[in-house]
Amino acid sequence: MKMPKILVVVVFLLLMAANTVAGQSIVGSWRLISYEDVDEKGVVVRPWGEHPLGILIYDDSGHMAVQIQRMPLAKGTAKNALTPNKHDKLAFFDSYIAYFGTYKVDTIKMTVTHFVEGNFFASLVGTSSEKAFEITGDRFLLKPVWVENGHKITGTRVFERMK
């Protein structure tokens, strides 16, 4: 069955609008500027260091990927990256995170939900995570909230659009 051209255009515009807030789309590549978590007592934790390195990518087909690396890099003792020792493996494991999957934007609630298909941590594969967000110009803020050991944690991840 052939779809009328006008219907194709309408569907395309609706898909693009679903990822657009106030005329600004989250689609694109975003460089991580800062990453911090704050507990109920106001204690700030920067698990990836003061100046982490990272990228967040949203494409226009609904796929996403994120990678974050602690900076400065842990100095390993392995002579060859293909044969790290146990100490190096632990240091590297604690300094890098990555996952990928699909995403959905809710422009009413101002949230983006990540549906995890692949993750450094296998226990997170198949999970989803809804995060509040703000987008202003080339700045994109993700604001996840979760409970850890009975305490509410609020995260702030600041990204800048890559050009």
d(CA 150, CA 158): 26
| CATH of range 5-161; options 3.90.550.10, 3.30.420.40, 3.40.190.10, 2.40.128.280 | 2.40.128.280
Contacts 24+ apart (CB under 8 A), 137-146: 137/24, 138/163, 140/26, 140/30, 140/56, 142/56, 142/112
Q: Average pLDDT, stretch 145-158?
A: 95
Span 95-140, pLDDT tens digits: 899 999 999 999 999 999 999 999 988 999 999 999 999 999 999 9
> What is the pLDDT at residue 90?
80
